[in-house]
Structure 1
Amino acid sequence: MDLAAVRAKLESKTGKQYWRTLEELAGDPQFEELLHREFPRQAPSDWDNSVDRRDFLKLMAASLALAGLSGCGRTPEQYLVPYVKQPDGLTLGRPQFYATAMPFGADAIGLLVESHEGRPTKIEGNPDHPSSLGATNVFAQASVLNLYDPDRAQTVTKFGEIQTWSLFVESAQALAAGMKGDGGARFRILSGIVTSPTLAGQIQSLLTTFPKAKWHQWEPAVGDGTREGAKLVFGSYLNTVYRPEKADVILALDSDFLGSGPGHIPYAKKFSRRRKLNGPDDTMNRLYAVEPTPSVTGATADHRWPLRASEVELFARALAAKLGLGGSVTLAAGAEKWLDTVAKDLQKHKGVSLVVAGEQQPAEVHALAHAINAALGNVGTTLYYTEPVEARPVNHLESLAELCADIEAGKVETLLILGGNPVYTAPHDFDFAAKIAFDKTKQKKVKTTIHVSSHFDETSELCDWHVAESHYLETWGDARAFDGTVGVIQPLIAPLYHTHSLRAALAAFSDQPGVSDYDVVRANSEAMGQRLFPMSSPEPGSFERFWRKSLHDGVVAGSAFAPLKATLKFSPASLPTPKPAPANEMEFIFRPDPCVYDGRFANNGWLQELPKPVTKLTWDNAAMISPKTAENLKVAHNVAWRGGEHGKVYSNVIDIALSNSKVTAAAWIVPGQADDTVVLPLGYGRKRAGYTGTNKGFNAYAVRTSGALWAAFAPSSAIRKTGQEYPLACTQYHFNMEGRQILATGTLEEYLKNPNFANEHAELPPQELSLYNGEAEFPYHRDKWAMAIDLNKCNGCNACVVACQSENNIPVVGKEQVMRGREMHWIRIDRYYQKSVKSPTNDPSSYDESLFNPPTFFQPVPCQQCENAPCEQVCPVGATVHSAEGLNDMVYNRCVGTRYCSNNCPYKVRRFNFLRFQDWETPQLKLLRNPEVTVRSRGVMEKCTYCVQRINDARIESEKLNAPIHDGAIVTACEQACPTEAIVFGNANDQDSRVAKLKAQQRNYALLGELNTRPRTTYLAAVRNPNPELESA
């Protein structure tokens, strides 16, 4: 290289230039490589990057010379806004909101999506949609990250080679023409649950064209027990809709109806409204939970009984017998006492009680739940029945088994797989990979396989064709919610890549392969409108008004299913005697993971780094066992206590041998889990998920078979310690508050006797003589922003955590950094166990009550926005200051990274960018960011701001109108996402505001108030409503 020539070019540069080092200015590739190597994940302790003086001078000179090359090119012309005439209703810099819906299993979550100049950036719940009621869950919040996932499939491929869409259509048309001769006898379609009327209509139309073709369905995380239980009781498939707001007593039989499953968002909202306490005259509902492993619902319950999954049916049979429905079942002494109390409570509340069976329970448990609800007179009040939400309800296991049998018999030539990942999720004994892959002789059992999916995954790599599927924010569609309400799915952005919808892939096999999604969905909506609102002679423009209203509201008015009068054709006594569980054997149960679900979200960094509600694990799953089982197996995990870095936990690795297969997993001890039960969370161990999701955790599907889809049995010898340890990242060990008592809980009886119990034992701040009066110095004449968090409602679902991450451009840091205690979430949810009350056996020697069944509580902890903030007093550069409205503001460009503020914060809510956690290079991720929030860089401290950008937006609007900001005009991201309405934000100076009224309650208390920090965020103590008979046992 001619350094003199390069130096001359450098000297020709003019204008101001800023750089940190010469190497950075020059852009030397070796320097860039050094940057990438600066903090490798597993750098050895003796790693030496030193250079001698000669090498340094050579590198500096070369970098200086190369930097001049940047002035040799002409800056390309770019358009900031891709249109000449501004569209109507669009104001630059102002977001727009569009209603849509996210299909999810047998449900569709109604959403409002925030868009900035055509870029969807934030997901909110649609208050007009019954499946969200304005709230969301973690999957809906994180789905916007899936849209911008750089690992998404981007085009059509055949055997891994890029093809055009037109070539695929030509191939599909040729296949369709060849199938007409035999009526499609060798044509099969495999999909997940379909609730879309349009998609179902297309499939049915295709089956009409090819009458001998078959449609199969497989949904790995949804149990068949729900459908088969209804069929067993009523003779046909029916859908059950619950009304928890009308129930005084609820029993959950291994059901997490507040945390997962169809309708769980509105169920959580309606349930929590019955937990609201405004004064000593209020009442609460009561929740009992029977489950094998802790869940969101179980943690919220007033009484919870750990019971093996296989024993839940026995419990339900015994309950039915207690209620006079026939049969006789004897339970263990402890469970018998618990059962007697629950039965009495249910009988005492006939017509206002509710029994809910879990999705993973067998049909018999669901049938018993239906019979018990009918006997208690609950049908029509706390629940009702409708026709199925699924377009074609089937037994999914039988459907997939039939497809596999047809493939083995050579009856399938063309297989169209619509979504899903059956190679990864199908039962291990089905060996679905062998059904569609080339064998050793280069032969295939299925001549042509086509997979339509968002990612090129384990199934895609074995199929002939792969069609990149559009995200739901990129396409038109529709879907039914849990109660039958139809929501219209409308695109907010044109497809980022050459992707197509499931509807387009189906249309490729029809007589109209070029029909647009919009035309198909609109035509179906017009037909639906005619059925819902029949008119002999429709008025001109009537459908256009109906269509526009449906798009605007996000729901098709009047489309919810009407309640059906269902006749019970079942008696619990008619059930055959259940097979006894194998004696002295361990039970292994499979459950969808609360963060990655069945594996479809494995490549979503927000969800991978999201602490699981109960275990607080991130980036991995683990085989969960009870403390007693761990003691028997001599299994343990140990925290690697390092200075300020307590996130790494070394756990014993175990081999689990089930059904002629084996999986290796880390063990995790979970208080409150049933003994002799091992929980294997699904969704991890992916081999082709993308950069984020590949090779994370262990694959529980590897030991899941068709004969033991949700529970398997094996002797304890099936578990073998390998002698190795595996590091897990757990956030529960982070940000401890010096062991102080920070959680206030009580019973309803204690609250009624003493509503001020939360503050009774609080330490008063020291009263020192001082000339300084903080309140007088800052009178806050106008707005005084504050937050109240009701711990009686919070169920730890984590929706607020992901919503905050999405709203405030919070980065993902990775497992290694989480283990160092460096995760960046602005709000964390601490999980607390409480010393257990006496167990129903009244025999403390039988087990440790605090480990067997401890009451569980959750506490969200954002920045407390202290009036007397310790962080403000120690910052040497004034980077954290107090605003005129009482906010504890961060000035990012002043921060020099001393971290004094973090050290002085008693709440441990400040987050420091130790490294450059933000991705500045990937172009797709740039589209994701909220333009109203600064993207922080390395060396900068950050924390919760009360969504100050939303406060400023509301202030600007109020000044335009010359009116005060009314209560509810500002909704923080965490408050808006919360399904239980546990978080309330507002102006504490407005005595009529919700937050002011909550802070005036006697349950309200300040976290660590004895430190005299005077936090703006306060808490309402958690109150449980235990049954006195169980409390006194």
Structure 2
Amino acid sequence: MTARYDIDALRARLGDTRGREYWRSLEALAETPEFKEFLHREFPANASEWLDPAGRRTFLKLMGASLALAGVTACTRQPAEALVPYVRQPEELVPGKPLFYATAMPMSGAGMGLLVESHEGRPTKIEGNPDHPASRGATDLFAQASILGLYDPDRSQVVTNLGVVRPFSAFASAVQAVVSTQQETQGAGLRILSETVASPTLAAQIGEFLLRFPRARWVQWEPVGRHNAREGSRLAFGEYVDSQYALEKATVILSLDADFLCTGAAGVRNARAFASRRRAAGERARTNRLYAVECTPANTGTRADHRLSLRPSQVEAFVRAVAVQLGVAGVAAPELPEAAKTWVAPLVKDLQASRGQSLVIAGDGQPPVVHALAHAMNDLLGNVGATVVYTETAEARPMNQVAGVQELVADMTAGAVECLLILGGNPVYTAPADLDFAAALEQVPFRAHLSLYEDETSALCHWHIPETHYLETWSDVRGDEGTAAIVQPLIAPLYGGRSAHEVVSALGERGERPAYELVREYWSKVTGLSMQAPAPAPAAPPSGREIAPTGAAESAPPPQSQAAPSVGAGAAPAPPPIAPAPRPPLSPFDREWRRWLHNGVIPNTAFAPRAVTLQANFAAAPATGGAAGSGLEVVFRPDPTVYDGRFANNAWLQETPKSLTKLTWDNAALVSPATAVRLALASGDLVELRQGSRSIRIPIWLAPGQPADTLTLHLGYGRTRAGRAGTGTGFNVNPLRTAAGLDMLAGVELVKTGETYPLASTQDHWSLEGRNLVRVATLSEYDEDPEFARKLEHQPITDITMYGDFKYEGYAWGMAIDQNVCTGCNACVVACQAENNVPVVGKSQVLNGREMHWLRVDRYYTGDLENPDTYHQPMPCQQCEAAPCEVVCPVSATTHSSEGLNDMVYNRCVGTRYCSNNCPYKVRRFNFLLYQDWNTPTLWLQRNPDVTVRSRGVMEKCTYCVQRINHARVAAKLEDRGIRDGDVLTACQAACPTEAIVFGNINDPDSRVSRLKANPLNYALLAELNSRPRTTYLAIVRNPNAELEAGRAADESEGRR
């Protein structure tokens, strides 16, 4: 939706508003004609597009008898599926009963522990491993979506040499021949380029190779790596260390452009710890306070009690000013903008009042000196050892990756590299633009690339080897705090790929070896556990008293023809029962190995805290970020959904609305409303960004909260060889990204092209019409009136209703969502999609408002356009007891269960869409087309067999994961008990890092959900409609600094905020 509006008029309107006004977009605030047309469109435009004249809906319209013909038209023929029986069924496989296996997902130099659900050998769903410290039972959206990547039909499937299909043995022979020529030079021409390696086994393999070839070099490159954090720790302490934060112990937190709640290897763990001091049901005395300084709006900032929006060139100056006030030695006090000056004194006072319980966190995008200053402030405040400890890094060999890639490119250009083996990654696409990695790569005589896809780098290599997905191979990986886990495969490689372990082993003297063997051998050596099983004990002579195996053979009477004769009949006594064959003894290593696989962690492998000493004169080091200039400043960030481009072909992630912009299938240059006014820009305007000889074209998107004269560019788009979903999607911003400006760039010129580009954003889709949808108070306001949330009803709830009363006996399912801890991370959205077979519709259908997500996360703004407060509100089906959708369905396709669920009977639905029109919460989704993919066999394997796959013309919605309720019901019945609290976790609840979503039986007064619903902060959306929703929300309580809050209120009253 591209619209132009008067920003000054919007400011004036907000300034004249009494109290808080919440808005979802600038278009909604301006009430543009485009927004009004979209809002009041009962039936989306082009609803009849692609429908043939004899189609089902046309037939119903012509006959005028939808009710009478429901039985005729409901039975849509489903695609045929072949059934293949087991010849010999595995003992542990029970049809219909899933199995769960522990594994771990490596990503960007660290791993997250997972539990993977498998149906008859098909992995179908990802959950967090509660025993793994990085996940604690939750996940992020990347882990949830990784299951789709496993079955992606666009994955590389064959080994190729210059485009010709070859066996892997041919590659092994070729690379061995090249390596053998390097013996005399000790490997001077050999190079290995990998992503950041956190696998101890792989690091040991490469280490052995480097011992054999001392002059060979190993370079690691991560386009969204912790380069600044690494160099910042070396600047402060003289060595590489990692910071481990104990957010559950922190009372006051200062975030310096750090999205620590949603990004990075510790994002899930940090979110859980932060939420422990923020919950609606928690002790108010323990509520923490978060200050966020940001160069671009981020999820962490939406949870902040105070947010300061600064240009990238101003952040270091602000940090130095705070450090000076705290008393950090050797730091010069710089000049600050007026808005930042008012922050320093109250912030410093708050930090000093919480010595040992405060925390300063620097973001990965900030230069090393900011990280070093954060370390110094934590040290001065007494936080080291309390809210932060330092450990060695999860990276097997930490290095300056930018310098390493620069050196590699120089060597390739000079002809010093004879053989380059690239293990994963896509450096041709992601390497700094000023290095011209592609041109240098073509100078290497032998170049090979291992990757999941035949991507941009593969196209320039002689050899391409398909890589195994992490769910197809054996490996190991450390979490960010050091805990090691075994990466356990759940399925044989679908496309015959090879792992990095197997490719590196092909370089060795022993040739290729299985990854399983390599991982076991490494851990046997590290733990000192023998892999040799003890000799079995000698068999004892039979005594006639051996215990027969339990089962039918023991308990059933003998057949009549072989009945034992009675005593005294003169017959020989029955032979003694045969003892079962003894199990072969396990080796000491195998006993531990099985435990590691079962639990998903290797115990006692977490790093111990490390003592560090602050270096002198570290603050004198220059910043790596650009200084303020006459042009615009640019901030580079990983995309919230496709990251650095590695997930570009994952359609689930492409269609997931980004948390703050709600954009799908594209990226855009984020610009502040003030800058848009100055440059006469509107969302969708296509512009050219230039710096020197480099330039890109990209559309504009107006983002409230963005600093003035600052653009944010998200990585990962504009791929040319990604697959059907990713190729040609979005805009490549890497041509502007240089080795000296990986995270920020100054002096950028913006040139308008006069063209526009359609951007598919869902921010105005499914808008609710009502007041007080989001309810917020400060901690002091809550203390004065704990019932404030319930007093904000538009009108009193009455008992007047046309619905008959029904008493729910037994189970009554309900949900409570704590908005205090929701970060808007979208893990719940993707988890719901994976669990419930929700289809992808594509960009054109999103533009028509036809996205199919059962769960959406609405985002609301309040306050000033340049620095608003932002709130997230997950919106599943509300499961109303007096559901407006049920009474209008002419065929009873939507009904009410005895446990309070608003059920859908897909086979009855004739697609009238009356239910959708009558739903005030806008949570129903209609299959205008056959969105499900019935043509790709591998994608069939991913689908959850417990959930019906819907066809064209059918309405669908959230079911409270009724299939999980039924699984818990069967398990409880087998154990002759009721369903316990916690037995049923909906997909969204299980994935949530902060446990914001709680589900359970509201008839049980001791259940978690019942206790939350009894909280005075609990309220129902649109309660004035008397729909009596089972899903309720807990109002938000902020904990602002009274001094800063007073200044903010004064600014609001003067209209200057």
TM-score (normalised: structure 2): 0.85
Relative to structure 1, the CA distance from residue 957 to residue 654 in structure 2 (aligned partners, 3 Å threshold; closer, same or farther) is same
Contact 1:623 1:678 (C-alpha < 8 Å) held by counterparts: yes
Matches within 5 A, 1:838-857: 850-857=864-871
Of residues 620-629 and 706-715 in structure 1, the stretch that sits farther from structure 2 once superposed is 706-715
Deviations 1:480-523 (A, max 9, x none): 10101101101000000121101111111112223111010011
Q: Hey, what's the Cα distance between the residues in 2 that align with 1:571 and 1:753?
A: 49
Deviations 1:752-792 (A, max 9, x none): 1111111112134564766x674xx3211100000000000
Which letter maps to 2:293?
V
Deviations 1:53-87 (A, max 9, x none): xxxxxxxxxxxxxxxxxxxxxxx997724x53332
Relative to structure 1, the CA distance from residue 125 to residue 990 in structure 2 (aligned partners, 3 Å threshold; closer, same or farther) is same
User: Is 1:825 the counterpart of 2:839 in the alignment?
Assistant: no
Matches within 5 A, 1:45-60: none
2:682 paired residue number: 636
Q: Hey, what's the Cα distance between the residues in 2 that align with 1:580 and 1:202?
A: 40
Relative to structure 1, the CA distance from residue 913 to residue 540 in structure 2 (aligned partners, 3 Å threshold; closer, same or farther) is closer
Relative to structure 1, the CA distance from residue 986 to residue 655 in structure 2 (aligned partners, 3 Å threshold; closer, same or farther) is same
Contact 1:234 1:566 (C-alpha < 8 Å) held by counterparts: yes
Deviations 1:396-443 (A, max 9, x none): 110000000001111001100000001101111111111223xxxxxx
Q: Hey, what's the Cα distance between the residues in 1 that align with 2:279 and 2:327?
A: 34
2:755 paired residue number: 724
Deviations 1:849-886 (A, max 9, x none): x1111010000000000000000010000000000100
1:873 paired residue number: 887
Which letter maps to 2:203?
A
SS at match of 2:516: helix
Q: Hey, what's the Cα distance between the residues in 2 that align with 1:132 and 1:77?
A: 37
Q: Hey, what's the Cα distance between the residues in 2 that align with 1:280 and 1:387?
A: 35
Q: Hey, what's the Cα distance between the residues in 2 that align with 1:1003 and 1:175?
A: 69
Of residues 273-282 and 160-169 in structure 1, the stretch that sits farther from structure 2 once superposed is 273-282
1:189 paired residue number: 192
1:450 paired residue number: 448
Of the three residues 726, 731, 740, the one matched with 1:698 is 731
Relative to structure 1, the CA distance from residue 712 to residue 578 in structure 2 (aligned partners, 3 Å threshold; closer, same or farther) is closer
Relative to structure 1, the CA distance from residue 280 to residue 201 in structure 2 (aligned partners, 3 Å threshold; closer, same or farther) is closer
Contact 1:421 1:457 (C-alpha < 8 Å) held by counterparts: yes
Of the three residues 802, 812, 820, the one matched with 1:792 is 820
2:779 paired residue number: 748
1:615 paired residue number: 661
Q: Hey, what's the Cα distance between the residues in 1 that align with 2:725 and 2:746?
A: 33
Q: Hey, what's the Cα distance between the residues in 1 that align with 2:238 and 2:529?
A: 27
Deviations 1:816-852 (A, max 9, x none): 00000000000000000012xxxxxxxxxxxxxx111
Of the three residues 549, 573, 595, the one matched with 1:549 is 595
Percent of residue pairs identical = 55
1:681 paired residue number: 714
SS at match of 1:227: helix
2:84 paired residue number: 80
Relative to structure 1, the CA distance from residue 459 to residue 572 in structure 2 (aligned partners, 3 Å threshold; closer, same or farther) is closer
Contact 1:418 1:451 (C-alpha < 8 Å) held by counterparts: yes
User: Is 1:528 the counterpart of 2:532 in the alignment?
Assistant: no
Deviations 1:879-916 (A, max 9, x none): 00000100000000000000000000000000000000
Q: Hey, what's the Cα distance between the residues in 2 that align with 1:1025 and 1:866?
A: 33
Matches within 5 A, 1:205-224: 205-224=208-227
Relative to structure 1, the CA distance from residue 372 to residue 863 in structure 2 (aligned partners, 3 Å threshold; closer, same or farther) is same
Return the offset for 1:333.
Answer: 2.2
Contact 1:832 1:857 (C-alpha < 8 Å) held by counterparts: yes
Which letter maps to 1:459?
T
Which letter maps to 1:703?
L
Relative to structure 1, the CA distance from residue 834 to residue 319 in structure 2 (aligned partners, 3 Å threshold; closer, same or farther) is same
Relative to structure 1, the CA distance from residue 391 to residue 77 in structure 2 (aligned partners, 3 Å threshold; closer, same or farther) is closer
Relative to structure 1, the CA distance from residue 370 to residue 1026 in structure 2 (aligned partners, 3 Å threshold; closer, same or farther) is same
User: Is 1:778 the counterpart of 2:776 in the alignment?
Assistant: no
Contact 1:792 1:1020 (C-alpha < 8 Å) held by counterparts: yes
Contact 2:124 2:942 (C-alpha < 8 Å) held by counterparts: yes
2:973 paired residue number: 959
Contact 1:223 1:361 (C-alpha < 8 Å) held by counterparts: no
User: Is 1:654 the counterpart of 2:682 in the alignment?
Assistant: no
SS at match of 1:1032: helix
Contact 2:675 2:708 (C-alpha < 8 Å) held by counterparts: yes
Of the three residues 500, 505, 512, the one matched with 1:502 is 500
Contact 1:142 1:806 (C-alpha < 8 Å) held by counterparts: yes
Which letter maps to 1:414?
C
Q: Hey, what's the Cα distance between the residues in 2 that align with 1:77 and 1:396?
A: 50
User: Is 1:233 the counterpart of 2:233 in the alignment?
Assistant: no
Q: Hey, what's the Cα distance between the residues in 2 that align with 1:45 and 1:130?
A: 51
Of the three residues 912, 928, 932, the one matched with 1:898 is 912
Which letter maps to 1:677?
T
Relative to structure 1, the CA distance from residue 579 to residue 366 in structure 2 (aligned partners, 3 Å threshold; closer, same or farther) is closer
Of the three residues 449, 468, 478, the one matched with 1:470 is 468
Of residues 167-176 and 943-952 in structure 1, the stretch that sits farther from structure 2 once superposed is 167-176
Q: Hey, what's the Cα distance between the residues in 2 that align with 1:570 and 1:336?
A: 27
1:389 paired residue number: 394
2:643 paired residue number: 597
TM-score (normalised: structure 1): 0.87
Flag as ranges the 4+ runs of structure 1 deviating above 6 A. Answer: 42-51, 76-79, 577-580
1:417 paired residue number: 422
Q: Hey, what's the Cα distance between the residues in 1 that align with 2:794 and 2:674?
A: 37
Return the offset for 1:582.
Answer: 3.5
Unaligned runs of 5+ in 1: 1-41, 52-75, 438-444, 638-650, 836-849
User: Is 1:804 the counterpart of 2:832 in the alignment?
Assistant: yes
Which letter maps to 2:806?
F
Q: Hey, what's the Cα distance between the residues in 2 that align with 1:108 and 1:991?
A: 39
Return the offset for 1:178.
Answer: 1.8
User: Is 1:434 the counterpart of 2:409 in the alignment?
Assistant: no
Return the offset for 1:88.
Answer: 3.2
Contact 2:117 2:125 (C-alpha < 8 Å) held by counterparts: yes
User: Is 1:994 the counterpart of 2:1008 in the alignment?
Assistant: yes
Relative to structure 1, the CA distance from residue 532 to residue 994 in structure 2 (aligned partners, 3 Å threshold; closer, same or farther) is farther
Q: Hey, what's the Cα distance between the residues in 2 that align with 1:116 and 1:1029?
A: 57
Contact 1:879 1:891 (C-alpha < 8 Å) held by counterparts: yes
Which letter maps to 1:892?
Y
Matches within 5 A, 1:111-510: 111-278=114-281, 282-326=285-329, 327-437=332-442, 445-510=443-508
Return the offset for 1:329.
Answer: 2.3
Relative to structure 1, the CA distance from residue 208 to residue 919 in structure 2 (aligned partners, 3 Å threshold; closer, same or farther) is same
User: Is 1:941 the counterpart of 2:974 in the alignment?
Assistant: no
Relative to structure 1, the CA distance from residue 964 to residue 171 in structure 2 (aligned partners, 3 Å threshold; closer, same or farther) is same
SS at match of 1:304: strand
- Indicate the RMSD between aligned Cα atoms, in angstroms: 2.4
Of residues 507-516 and 134-143 in structure 1, the stretch that sits farther from structure 2 once superposed is 507-516
Which letter maps to 1:660?
S
Deviations 1:134-177 (A, max 9, x none): 00001000000000001000010111111111111111221222
Relative to structure 1, the CA distance from residue 43 to residue 157 in structure 2 (aligned partners, 3 Å threshold; closer, same or farther) is farther
Relative to structure 1, the CA distance from residue 44 to residue 898 in structure 2 (aligned partners, 3 Å threshold; closer, same or farther) is closer
Of residues 903-912 and 517-526 in structure 1, the stretch that sits farther from structure 2 once superposed is 517-526
How many residues align? The count is 927
Return the offset for 1:391.
Answer: 0.7
Return the offset for 1:283.
Answer: 3.4
Contact 1:371 1:572 (C-alpha < 8 Å) held by counterparts: no
Matches within 5 A, 1:3-18: none
SS at match of 2:187: coil
Higher relative contact order (CA 8 A, sep 6+): 2
Relative to structure 1, the CA distance from residue 762 to residue 589 in structure 2 (aligned partners, 3 Å threshold; closer, same or farther) is same
Relative to structure 1, the CA distance from residue 623 to residue 281 in structure 2 (aligned partners, 3 Å threshold; closer, same or farther) is closer
Of residues 510-519 and 918-927 in structure 1, the stretch that sits farther from structure 2 once superposed is 510-519
